[in-house]
Structure 1
Amino acid sequence: MVGADPPVLRLASASPRRRELLASIGVAVEVCPVDLDESPHRDEAAADYVLRLAGEKALAGSRDSSLPTLGSDTAVICDGAILGKPHDRAHAAAMLRGLAGRTHEVLTAVAVSGPAGLVDACVTTRVVMRPIEDAEIDAYWATGEPVDKAGGYAIQGYAAVFVERIEGSHSAVVGLPLFETAALLERQGVPYWNRAVSQ
């Protein structure tokens, strides 16, 4: 695209949310999704799980590129269980009922592969949800938004009306902790706020 900044980072994810978050701090990316088995290992702690997947994605995405590569993974944790993306409407509804009126944790890990090797970070954010009526859950499912979201909701979308407050990083719940990501990019020599210079 004419006038666009050249990519300074490869993003090993198809997530438009992560691409938008990186763009918001001026990082132009080359998108290269990777397909990995995202099943948790037996007795794997949630933080270990998201860090492992973020690292595996970054390494897999970097194999045929000279650009530093970022991988990330997000998990919603409730009662010690990792809530993934809903299989269907009933699964999404069950997850939202379990989260409604309670506090849960969202863990997001980010890993960047580059000249400094593989560097990573994991951020935990506590999310407090108000009670949610079944009719609201049905209406929310009908929007199509919960289909590919961990825990069955998107804090940056329609589900914002369910979230009373958060304790931690909003951008991490969306999909990428920007404060920690910027620090990791700096360690790999990747500039943020990069802009093409007009000629």
Structure 2
Amino acid sequence: MAPRDPEAKRRALLEAALAEFAEHGIAGARVDRLAGRAGCSAGLVYTYFGSKEELFTAVFDQVVVQAAEQMPISPEDLPEYAGALFDGQTAHPDVMRLATWHRLEQRGDRPAIEAITRSNQAKVDAIEQAQREGKLSTRFTAPELLMLTINTASMWALQSPEISDLGPREHAARRATVVEAVRRLVEP
């Protein structure tokens, strides 16, 4: 008999949940379907996470932490940070779908997801420091620069195909547009 590996089951559930939530959102996701993807029972979802909503929060936390680790912000080079975000969004459209479901389905009365709050505050703090040092424009506040950078990086990923597929633009050209737009936003 193979030894039990609870951490491997937990990771399998998180991976299966990312796919399930990206495809169906919170309301449309089915615990039995995602448990099947993970190769375990639906009851294990509740054992590890308590509820479908708590599982969604765990998946979203994991995605935020991974993104922060894989694409650390460099306030001195926000244009390249935007380019890295664009690359990540292009390579992982399931994460962008998950973020869209989060925006659509998370009610305002739910507590903020701590990983997102921490990540965004660290980014704002780093941008503010770079602004004080004269490395970034002060035309916009640090939170505004962060949102402008993120939204510029996401401009194709967040649009419907009818808009985002206008013209034969390849990845490199779109990335260059993102980087240049953010460069112009942040230059002192």
TM-score interval for Structure 1 and Structure 2 normalised by the shorter chain: under 0.3
Q: 1 or 2, which has the higher strand percentage?
A: 1
TM-score, with structure 1 as normaliser:
0.26
Q: 1 or 2, which has the higher helix percentage?
A: 2
